[in-house]
């Protein structure tokens, strides 16, 4: 069964020092995510969900514990190795979309393929295909500022998916969107998850996401409060 594990976090903790005071953002947490899961990590602000996602993605380092992602131990990696690891294994969707404003829609998506050394012809074909899948086929040459918030988040989803990562980490992906757009995007991601078997891990406090996810992990004060499979 270990083969199916995409993420295996054991006793992962994070403590910040604020002057003399130590803030325990994350108490030792265990979490295992299997390939193809559509998991939401929920909890109120300050519960530690973003910290957990940051540590899982290698953007932040844990104070204790160990993390394996796609079978590789992350805690022993250097910053350069983590950078390459993120490039090769992780897709990101941010709350604020975080597209590169000087790159067109097509270029924003193409960028991650370029980092992975994909050939120009292959890049172009994959960008066209993914834009088609997220419903932005005619927007390839547009700049992010020319798109609505929902469209920008679709581009971010396309960018996260185009390289076929082992897992897509989405930090509050609908927080900046109206409920209808957010719901439509979640449906789209669910379809991609079911159709392509892509693994998603969300951090959220949006009830709609919690409802649409197949597994819900709730955090409270840096501890796992509950972990339930919905289907």
Report the interface residues with other proteins, using CB under 8 A: 54, 57, 59-60, 79-80, 83-88, 92, 94, 98, 100-103, 107, 110-112, 114-116, 159
**Measured between alpha carbons, how far is residue 32 from residues 4, 12, 55, 151, 194 in Å?**
10, 12, 14, 32, 19
CB of 183 to other proteins, least distance (A): 25
Strand duo 215-220 + 38-42: pairing: parallel
CB of 60 to other proteins, least distance (A): 5
48 close to 222: Cβ distance less than 8 angstroms: yes
Residue 19 vs 101, nearer CB to other proteins: 101
Residue 94 vs 220, nearer CB to other proteins: 94
Residue 167 vs 216, nearer CB to other proteins: 167
Residue 116 vs 190, nearer CB to other proteins: 116
Residue 53 vs 216, nearer CB to other proteins: 53
Question: Which run of H or E residues covers position 189?
Answer: helix 179-196
Residue 162 vs 216, nearer CB to other proteins: 162
CB of 86 to other proteins, least distance (A): 5
Six token digits for residue 45? 């602000």
Alpha-carbon gap, residue 205 to 175, rounded angstroms: 9
Matching residue, tokens 């022993």:
76
Alpha-carbon gap, residue 188 to 180, rounded angstroms: 12
CB of 84 to other proteins, least distance (A): 6
Q: Where are the beta strands (DSSP E) in the chain?
A: 5-18, 21-34, 38-42, 64-69, 72-73, 90-93, 167-171, 199-204, 215-220, 223-229
CB of 35 to other proteins, least distance (A): 21
CB of 231 to other proteins, least distance (A): 31
């Amino acid at each position: 069964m270990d083969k199916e594990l995409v993420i295996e976090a054991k006793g992962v903790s994070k403590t910040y020092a604020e002057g003399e005071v130590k803030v325990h953002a994350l108490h030792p947490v265990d979490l295992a995510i299997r390939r193809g899961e559509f998991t939401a990590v929920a909890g109120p602000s300050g519960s530690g969900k973003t910290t957990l996602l940051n540590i899982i993605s290698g953007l932040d380092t844990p104070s204790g514990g160990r993390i394996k992602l796609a079978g590789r131990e992350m805690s022993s990696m250097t910053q350069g190795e983590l950078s390459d690891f993120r490039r090769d294994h992780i897709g990101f969707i941010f709350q604020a979309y975080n597209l590169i404003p000087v790159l067109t829609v097509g270029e924003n998506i193409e960028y991650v393929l370029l980092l992975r050394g994909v050939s120009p012809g292959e890049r172009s074909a994959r960008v066209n295909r993914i834009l088609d899948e997220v419903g932005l086929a005619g927007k390839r040459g547009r700049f992010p500022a020319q798109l609505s918030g929902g469209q920008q988040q679709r581009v971010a989803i396309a960018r996260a998916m185009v390289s076929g990562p082992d897992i897509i980490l989405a930090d509050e992906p609908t927080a900046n969107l109206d409920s209808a757009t957010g719901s439509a995007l979640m449906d789209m991601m669910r379809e991609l998850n079911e159709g392509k078997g892509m693994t998603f891990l969300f951090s959220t406090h949006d009830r709609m996401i919690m409802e649409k996810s197949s597994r819900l992990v709730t955090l409270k004060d840096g501890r796992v409060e509950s972990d339930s499979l919905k289907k």
